[in-house]
Structure 1
Amino acid sequence: MATGPDGRSVIVTGAGSGIGRAAALAFAGQGVTVVAADLNAEGAKEVVEQIEEAGGVAVAVVGDLSEQAVVDRVVETSVERFGGVDVLVDNAGIMDRMSALADVTDAEWERVIRVNLTAPLPAHPRGAAAHAEGGQGGDREHGVRGRSARQRGSAAGAAYTASKHGVVGLTKSLAVMYRKQGIRANAMAPGGTQTGIVVDAAQDSHGPAALGPHFVNIGKPARAGEQAAAIVFLASDAASNINGAILPVDDGWAAV
């Protein structure tokens, strides 16, 4: 059972690209063992290869994390290969089409809510159980980083905004319900970030037209590595008394 010199293991969902890849590489750079989960097999394989080439330890798990069987396989892989789960970076997510509520189709609403809000639910209790039973030691904190949250109603369309505000509630609930077990739950609220994500929206539709002015003060776009640094901090001993927090990493956008 090979592990990195840090002794901890981290599951990073959406690890094949963007913030997830940057987080996986950042953890690996500190000697943390990485389980890189992603729907994109090529992306997951590439990040594992990068980690291994740098001397780190990582394994890829490919699949749709909105499916229970895939969530189980991710957690079981961490337990079987690395002895448990210390950190869960629940990063995978999608954008909506910036649709206003009256324009959201049933398919758009269901998909965004399923991926961004419903999919994390099975992973957290399983990760907590794996932490408790995985032989990592009772005093090991399990840093859970909920999916990227939002503190603004104008972050995107109705479905995306609802899903992200739901993440805020989920994060706070986890923090209260599991703190006696030594488990912390925090979320990051990123602003504009330089990733490959593309918003499939008709610019002349009501949602994008209404949201346009709200993005004037978005601030300086972050690099994925800047977001990853915040994630690594929240999972570190330096953040040992931070629990149930929503950390903006957005160059002051939430303060406008």
Structure 2
Amino acid sequence: MDSEFKGKRVLVTGGARGVGEAIVRVFVDLGATVFALDREVELLSKLKESLPQIQTVAVDLRDWDATQKAVREIAPIHHLVNNAGVAGVHTLLTVGKELVDTILDINFKQVINVSQTVVNGLIETKAGGGTIVNISSVLALKPFQGSSMYCCSKAALSMLTKCQAVEFGPHDVRVNSIRPTLMATGLVKNPEIFQTLFDAVQKKQIIKKPLETQEVAQLVVFLSSSQAGMITGEEIAIDAGIHLT
């Protein structure tokens, strides 16, 4: 039986690796026309080699105008996954403007930019409704020393999801977010620092095992599907119960 995503156009930001790559792959398997957006041209090329049916979009999401142009050119997009994210180890006593700007630009501002461009594209092309899934984090609720700006950016994304659901709803666009626990996806480039953070978070989980990227991808598919047709403005935790501790 054909998937409901067959022929639908899906955009995944940060789609060249980690969770983004897993999301790209599952939508490809479901017959969607998938656009993987990333600034890492080499990683996009490697992904294209293994998945020749996808389309790649190379753009730096920190460039507002270039991002709008790139997303307009692939309209309409029926299903958007705002997955791109960055982190950086710091303290609030020493964090500088450059890191603050980078984290907020990628984790928050670009979600506004990409989402409004996608929804305007749906309206202009009269392509019907759609969905947006924002990838947040367990750290949207849990302050963690050394990751304060990341925590703040994801907390802002949580409220943005609700605001988007209210404003985009009249255009038949549902918006939800996923709040996963930490995964080994390379978000923090220093492996020793990441391992310290990962171990600390995992100790607080009720289910004592790592979250797999494929598990997040399957939840994205559900929230993008008609089975979730009455769900909007929600944050779905996939965090091994850490929010209960």
> How far apart are the structure 1 equivalents of 2:60 and 2:8?
25
- Listed one character per residue, the Cα deviations across residues 161-203 of structure 1 (whole Å, up to 9, x for unaligned) are 1100000011000001111110111111110213233354996
Name the TM-score, length of structure 1 as normaliser.
0.84
Q: SS at the partner of 1:195?
A: coil
> How far apart are the structure 2 equivalents of 1:210 and 1:147?
19
> How far apart are the structure 1 equivalents of 2:199 and 2:17?
27
> How far apart are the structure 2 equivalents of 1:225 and 1:13?
16
> How far apart are the structure 2 equivalents of 1:147 and 1:121?
13
For 1:217, which of 195, 204, 223 is the aligned residue?
204
**Aligned pairs, number:** 237
Query: Partner residue of 1:239?
Result: 228
The answer as to 2:48 corresponding to 1:59 is no
Query: Partner residue of 1:95?
Result: 87
> How far apart are the structure 2 equivalents of 1:211 and 1:113?
22
Compared CA separation, residues 71 and 155, structure 1 to 2 (3 A)? farther
For 1:143, which of 107, 131, 136 is the aligned residue?
131
Instruction: Please give the residue correspondences for 1:80-91 in structure 2 after superposition, counting only pairs within 5 Å.
Output: 84-91=76-83
Counterpart amino acid of residue 174 in structure 2: R
Could you list the runs of 5+ residues in structure 2 that have no partner in the other structure? none
Counterpart amino acid of residue 146 in structure 1: N
How far is 1:47 from its partner? 2.2
Instruction: Please give the residue correspondences for 1:58-207 in structure 2 after superposition, counting only pairs within 5 Å.
Output: 58-79=54-75, 84-97=76-89, 99-136=90-127, 140-149=128-137, 150-154=140-144, 157-200=147-190
How far is 1:141 from its partner? 3.0
C-alpha contact (below 8 Å) 2:202/2:210 kept by paired residues: no
Could you list the runs of 5+ residues in structure 1 that have no partner in the other structure? none
> How far apart are the structure 2 equivalents of 1:211 and 1:29?
30
The answer as to 2:219 corresponding to 1:227 is no
> How far apart are the structure 2 equivalents of 1:13 and 1:209?
27
Counterpart amino acid of residue 134 in structure 1: T
C-alpha contact (below 8 Å) 1:94/1:116 kept by paired residues: yes
- Listed one character per residue, the Cα deviations across residues 66-118 of structure 1 (whole Å, up to 9, x for unaligned) are 21233223322322xxxx11011111110120x23223222221211111111
C-alpha contact (below 8 Å) 1:36/1:48 kept by paired residues: no
Name the TM-score, length of structure 2 as normaliser.
0.87
Fraction of identical pairs, as percent: 24
* Aligned-residue RMSD, C-alpha: 2.5
> How far apart are the structure 1 equivalents of 2:175 and 2:5?
24
Query: Partner residue of 2:28?
Result: 28
C-alpha contact (below 8 Å) 1:154/1:211 kept by paired residues: no
